[in-house]
Amino acid sequence: MKKLFSLLAILILVAQVQAQLPRIIILATGGTIAGTGASSDRAGYTAGKIPIEDLIGSIPTVKKIANITGEQVASVGSQDMTIDIWKKLAIRANEIFTKNEADAIVITHGTDTMVETAAALAAALPPASGKTIVLTGAMVPYAFGSSDGLFNLGSALSFAQTLPAGVYLAMNGRYFQWDRVRKNRETGVFEAI
**Active site positions, annotated:** 32
CA distances from 116 to 51, 102, 163, 179, 191 (A): 23, 24, 20, 10, 15
* Residues forming beta bridges with residue 134, ordered by sequence position: 106, 168
- Identify the burial level of 158 via C-beta atoms within 10 angstroms of its C-beta, where 0-12 means exposed, 13-18 middle and 19 or more buried: middle
Choose between 23 and 88: whose C-beta lies nearer to ligand ASP: 88
Choose between 47 and 52: whose C-beta lies nearer to ligand ASP: 47
What's the half-sphere exposure (Cβ side, CA atoms, 13 Å) at 5? Answer: 2
Site for ligand ASP in 134-163 (CB under 6 A): 137
110 binds ligand ASP (CB under 6 A): yes
Number of other residues whose CB lies within 10 A of the CB of residue 60: 9
Count residues contacting ligand ASP (CB under 6 A)? 10
47 binds ligand ASP (CB under 6 A): yes
Quote the DSSP letter at residue 185. Answer: T
Choose between 115 and 157: whose C-beta lies nearer to ligand ASP: 115
Smallest gap from Cβ 97 to ligand ASP, in A, equals 26
111 binds ligand ASP (CB under 6 A): yes
Alpha carbon distance 152, 160 (integer Å)? 12
Q: Which of 39, 56, 28 is nearest to 143 (CA)?
A: 39
Supply φ then ψ for residue 5, to 5 degrees: -65, -40
31 binds ligand ASP (CB under 6 A): yes
79 binds ligand ASP (CB under 6 A): yes
> Which one among 36, 40, 78, 117 touches ligand ASP, defined by CB under 6 A?
78
Smallest gap from Cβ 111 to ligand ASP, in A, equals 3
Smallest gap from Cβ 79 to ligand ASP, in A, equals 5
Q: Which residues contact ligand ASP by CB under 6 A? A: 31-32, 47, 77-79, 110-112, 137
